[in-house]
Amino acid sequence: MIPNKNEMIAAYEARHGKELQKKLSAATVAVCGLGGLGSNISIALSRAGIGKLILIDFDKVDISNLHRQQYKANQIGLPKTEALSCNLSEIAPYTVVETHCVKITEENAVDLLSGADIICEAFDNPQAKAMLANTVLEKLPGKFYVGASGMAGIGSTNEIKTRRLSKYFYLCGDGVSEVGKSEGLFAARVMACAAHQAHTVIRILTGQYDV
């Protein structure tokens, strides 16, 4: 049986405290890219009781995604926005989910992201990462941006850290092991980086700005 909304809020408040949870419930977070990083970020934030998630990705679930991304075998072929939205509805039925099955570009990023309090970058393409960071920092001043750099390979998860590069720009990862330049992608290490990003979002929303 699915608990009602008041029961869910009470459960969050019991774990997080009423005032802290009020901030999380009022927040809107955009997740750009719904692969290994983005799908895990989204689930972590939904479990924390974030009020609204804006999910953006143009891709479909592929069998090659299943070893590290939060999708199911019976979802192969579905748009990632649709599949992840469905999975989140089972985990956190009262989180508002807005989906955009499109590729983020310099031209549409502002329209897609202007409603978010915090923007999470979860791409695996260096050019896309640079484009989004530059666009957000230049055209959406005052928006917090949480990016990622380096989570591939079998190095220690202790190498993954969060750095604050500027007032509004945070970067999570080891800064070295980019996709395609090491031994591959492993769920545990990707999830560790995603956890850094999700927890950075929570800290920002609760006024903890230092890493």
Residue 210 lies in a domain: no
Sign of CA dihedral 145, 148, 131, 112: negative
CATH number of the domain within which 57 lies: 3.40.50.720
pLDDT score of 13: 95
pLDDT score of 1: 87
Question: Are residues 211 and 199 in contact, defined by beta-carbon separation less than 8 angstroms?
Answer: no
Residue 12 lies in a domain: no
pLDDT score of 211: 81
- Domain, as residue range, for 128: 24-205
Beta-strand pair 96-100/52-56: parallel
- Give the mean pLDDT of 181-208: 92
Residue 139 lies in a domain: yes
* pLDDT per position as a tens digit, 95-126: 999 999 999 999 999 999 999 999 999 998 99
pLDDT score of 184: 85
Split into its structural domains, the chain has a count of 1
- Give the mean pLDDT of 169-181: 84
Global confidence as pTM = 0.96
